[in-house]
A = this chain, B = another copy of it.
């Protein structure tokens, strides 16, 4: 990773001092240089990586953010936007110090339009807060990464989750944004129309830009009607190959499950232990179907037939809402469950995503690699998207083991790229996937850097992330 990380210039001490003075003058106690605040904003989740900001600020309005960015741009002081702090790839460390902008006060739901099934929220609103707010309207927002992330952060990392196979990722569900450029301009992108062909697609340029082009302050989202019928079930398989084979056939036959998630036997064991499930320790699919009762009944029947063809066992249905919640909560906590397999250990998560037909080959190659590496590894995947995560359990204090884990993670990403896929299906690049950018995007990297230089010529936005040297 180090070899690919860009060189970063630290700002001068005078510049930082000048910025802090002006931030304190405008924001008072909402700008803090306290060690605790700086520590808290020095990292996300996931792999160990830390960078202390010099100051943390909690703006409340677009104009506040514009003030901060214009100030930092004038003084060439770095800025790191900070949402819920749940990103996994090292998006948040302030590698050159500077200002961490915490968007927690951007917590207002600005409008909900049930008739057109859309909404507009401030960037700090979390996905769970939005869903709690709209529950009574009969609508929901489907994109669900494991953490209760902020919607601005989810847009910034082009996040997805378990529902993407049916509802798409943030890429498909953001209608528009309000962004603040590094120069302090406030720009509203997109519209509320479901489609538009006017002008360059600024919305999608900022979705997935990981805070490197400016700050996302508002997000307009598509909403969906709560399905009339929800059927959830788990289905055990004798091996990984047949579990994935069933998924591939289901998708090719046109089934549109809302969720189709794979847990390998190690992940099932981890989730049994951590979340109190009582599943047989064998590769298992977690499934959910949405629609009218007729439609879900038909899709379940089709899926049962396909599963049986692949040696799958009986479906165990989670009929009561609380059973479904327990099931999906366990799925969402699989990252923590993996870590808990070995007290004190860390979890190096991979995020490979490949074309669906390449998934069996990719997963089986990873499984062989895991065996040779000799580490404890869980496999859990949004297999309907061709996306899966290895949870590589390792001791960060053990250099040799860490190197073995890194080797496995590296090969997993490159295997996905070689199969026409991507190093990161939903976690972004941050610091930890920089090493794969050139392999995946080739000359596209130079183009991305030209765009970055055009929009952030002083390179203040989230330095050291995404763009390799």
Contacts and interface: CB of A to CB of B under 8 A. Distances in A.
Interface stretch (A22-30, A280-288, A340-348, A442-450): A442-450
Q: Which of A423, A444, A466 gathers most chain B CB within 10 Å? A: A444
Interface of A: 113-118, 157-160, 164, 168-169, 171-172, 181, 185-189, 191-202, 204-205, 207-209, 213, 224-225, 227-228, 248, 251-254, 292, 294-295, 298, 351, 353-358, 385-387, 416-417, 420-429, 433, 436-437, 440-448, 450-455, 466
Contact of A117 (B115, B116, B252, B454): B252
Given A185-B443, A200-B452, 11 more contacts: A160-B197, A191-B421, A197-B426, A197-B427, A198-B429, A199-B437, A199-B445, A199-B466, A201-B207, A227-B254, A294-B295
Nearest to A454: B454
B200 A225 contact: no
Nearest to A114: B252
B200 A416 contact: no
Contacts of A157: 197
A202 B446 CA distance: 11
A197 B429 contact: yes
Nearest to A165: B194
Given A118-B355, A202-B448, A191 B440 contact: yes
A355 B195 contact: no
B172 A444 contact: no
A132 B269 CA distance: 49
B423 A159 contact: no
A392 to B, nearest CB: 19
15 contacts: A115-B357, A168-B172, A181-B447, A185-B447, A187-B443, A192-B354, A193-B353, A193-B387, A193-B425, A198-B440, A200-B451, A201-B205, A204-B205, A205-B451, A295-B298
